Amino acid sequence: MSALLEVRNLARSFGGIRAVDGVSLTVEGGEIVGIIGPNGSGKSTFFNLVAGVLPPDGGSVRFAGHDVTGWRPHRIARLGLGRTFQIPTPFLKMTVRQNLLVAGMAQPQGRSAKELARAAGHWLEFLRLAHLADEPAENLSGGQMKLLELGRVLMISPRLILLDEVAAGVNPVLAREIAGYIRTLNGQGITFLVIEHDMDLIQDLCSRVIVMDRGQKIAEGDFDAVKANPQVVAAYLGS
Ligand code: ADP
Ligand code: MG
């Protein structure tokens, strides 16, 4: 069986900056893999390239048996690849429930209004947002916005979710809660690639950690090995 996600030599520059500089990695179905690295090391850009938000300058992305390199985001999402944005992007004037419904309408195709409504209700309960279902998204706290962002991704019935700092800037109680959701969802078969600065959370959740620095993958392995890697220590001290 081939890996769920296979990235080979992915690259993207902005002007003279090699934001992502030849990154290769593989994620097997069922894993929770962490991506860490100093600010500006290319983590979010890497997610944008994998999810089709940005076209790569080079390299390839294979997801669920398809070469999705250069595909538009909605088409990749339809295969079951979802991502959250570091800065949540809900429709502020719509209610929480409407935001979920809109996210679910994009894909997969052929779901009836009734099925969408049921899925939205399910994820609102799961994320403990049900009491806010009819609030405009703009009334949500920062932490609740992060939950809504996760809920919107869940509406596409994802096989793989790319989480970009979903627990950053939220209070520690909610961060633990989010970690719990990730673990539960993983138990239900969803694979995760997780960018996070909270090392306790990474250590807690991830079987494997990838370290980026200046656009490159500089280390990969279990958390303790990676933490003790001199190149990783230097990257963090240098930032
Ligand atoms: P990280 O998520 O690890 O903090 P980013 O992927 O956001 O890093 O950024 C990597 C580098 O690419 C940074 O130097 C950043 O300024 C640059 N960058 C990211 N997105 C853009 C963009 N749309 N235009 C120009 N430069 C960008
Ligand atoms: Mg980032």
Q: Is residue 137 part of a domain?
A: no
Structure tokens at 124: 């609102």
For the chain, state the CA radius of gyration: 17
Q: Between the CA of residue 6 and those of 55, 73, 175, 198, 210, what are the distances in Å?
A: 16, 17, 29, 26, 14
Report the Cα 46 to chain-centroid distance in Å.
Answer: 11
59 is in which domain, residue-wise? 5-87+157-237
Q: Is residue 68 part of a domain?
A: yes
Reported confidence tier of residue 85, pLDDT bands at 50, 70, 90? confident
Q: Is residue 135 part of a domain?
A: no
Chain segment 111-161, per-residue pLDDT in tens: 888 999 999 999 999 999 999 999 999 999 999 999 999 999 999 999 999
Q: Is residue 58 part of a domain?
A: yes
Q: Which ligand is nearest to the CA of 37?
A: 1
Domain count, the chain: 1
Q: Is residue 204 part of a domain?
A: yes
pLDDT of residue 26: 97
Q: Is residue 148 part of a domain?
A: no
CB neighbours of residue 55 within 10 Å: 12
Q: Between the CA of residue 46 and those of 11, 180, 237, what are the distances in Å?
A: 8, 25, 22
- The atom of ligand 1 lying closest to the CA of 48 is 6
Nearest protein Cα to ligand 1, atom 23: 14
Q: Is the C-beta atom of 34 inside 6 A of ligand 1? A: no
Residue 167 is part of a domain; what is its CATH number? 3.40.50.300
Q: Is residue 164 part of a domain?
A: yes
Pocket test for ligand 1, best of 35, 45, 218, 239 (most atoms within 8 A of CB): 45
Q: Is residue 12 part of a domain?
A: yes
ipTM value for the complex: 0.98
